[in-house]
Amino acid sequence: MSTTAGQKKPDPFKSFIAGGVAGAVEGVVTYPFEFAKTRLQLVDKSSKMSRNPLVLIYTVARTQGISALYVGCPAFVVGNTAKASVRFLGFDAIKRVLADKDGSLSGPRGVLAGLGAGLLESIVAVTPAEAIKTGKIDDKQSLKPKYQDGVRGTFRLIKDLGIKGLYSGLLPVAMRQGANSAVRLGSYSKIKGALQDWSNTPRNQPLSSGLTFLLGAFAGIVTVYTTMPIDTVKTRMQSLDASKQYSSTLNCFVKIFKEEGLMTFWKGATPRLGRLILSGGIVFTIYEKMLVILN
């Protein structure tokens, strides 16, 4: 994912496979943070539930069992696998189109490639997977859960949601994924290239695993705080009662701001930060290693 000349152009199929493996591993490892973030974003202002994500994780594990922390995980992992595959495939494909004749890619064009990859993944994989995950987590909090009996419950939820429900929140998801990928892939690619130049590392050679992990984690930190408001609106729009509360994405944004305050948009940032720091480190490290293996 380097941005300058001298690097062998990535094979699209290998980018797809490497991205999928990285996404699957990252999804399983980091899901409890995703669960906590989603639960916190679904809590209304009047609730007395603790806003501390670690307390939330501990309380759920103690009262409902460890398995409760993985409610919605299968849909998330499937979506994450598809998302990462499409993201890296899309990024590398768009990067080829935007690159100069010598193979170099400027910072703005790197961000544009990331934006395109994010929009693509939001349509192909992320929106329906997020709708299922959010619906399962939201349903778990109800007095009479309807969708918790494994695969059958998931298919029942999909049937009840329908195509319209699965793609509710498409606009905020597309905005979030576009911003996520633009910031994450753009910053990672640019800083990686600068580090390779600084350390005189050839562009066709990966950085060390430790440095790749740190670089991916840093990209995750930047991504969280720049895209959190979009993520919060996305989660609210995909809650089971969203159609009764919000008439549109803009209405959701305005209503949260007026009734709950500006900082509500960053509610859930801590668990998301924990997940994306790990996520960034894991995804980029495994992706780079998988490319080495596949090559």
Residue 25 has pLDDT above 90, yes or no: yes
Largest distance between two CA atoms of the chain: 61
The full DSSP string for 114-152 is HHHHHHHHIIIIIHHHHHHHHHHHHHHTSSS-SS-SHHH
Is the Cα dihedral 220, 225, 230, 236 positive or negative?
positive
pLDDT for position 286:
92
What does the pLDDT look like over 102-126, one tens digit per residue?
666 667 887 888 888 888 988 988 8
Does residue 3 carry a pLDDT above 50?
A: no
Cα 290 versus chain centre, distance: 20
Q: How many CA atoms lie within 13 Å of 193's alpha carbon, on the beta-carbon side?
A: 18
Task: Give, rounded to a whole angstrom, the gap between the first and last alpha carbons of the chain.
Answer: 14
Q: What are phi and psi of 68, to 5 degrees?
A: -65, -25
* 209: pLDDT strictly greater than 60: yes
As a whole number, mean pLDDT of residues 5-11 equals 55
Q: Does domain 12-294 have CATH number 1.50.40.10?
A: yes
Tell me what pLDDT residue 4 has: 42
Looking at residue 194, what is its pLDDT?
83
Measure the CA–CA gap between 110 and 78, rounded to whole angstroms.
27
Q: Where are the domains of the chain?
A: 12-294
What average pLDDT does range 48-72 have in this prediction? 86
Q: Provide long-range contacts, Cβ within 8 A and 24+ apart, for 51-59.
A: 51/267, 53/268, 53/270, 53/271, 53/274, 57/32, 57/271
Radius of gyration (Cα) for the chain, nearest Å?
A: 19
The mean pLDDT of 255-271, rounded to a whole number, is 88
pLDDT digits (tens, 9 = 90+) for 77-93: 988 898 899 988 988 88
Among residues 15, 278, 39, 252, which one has the least CA distance to residue 138?
39
Q: pTM for the whole thing?
A: 0.69
Residue range 267-280, pLDDT digits in tens: 878 888 888 888 88
203: pLDDT strictly greater than 80: no
Q: Give me the percent of the chain exceeding a pLDDT of 90.
A: 17
Report the pLDDT averaged over residues 162-181. 86
CB 274 within 8 A of CB 233: no
DSSP of 181-232, one letter per residue? Answer: HHHHHHHHHHHHHHHHHHTT--TTSPPPHHHHHHHHHHHHHHHHHHHHHHHH
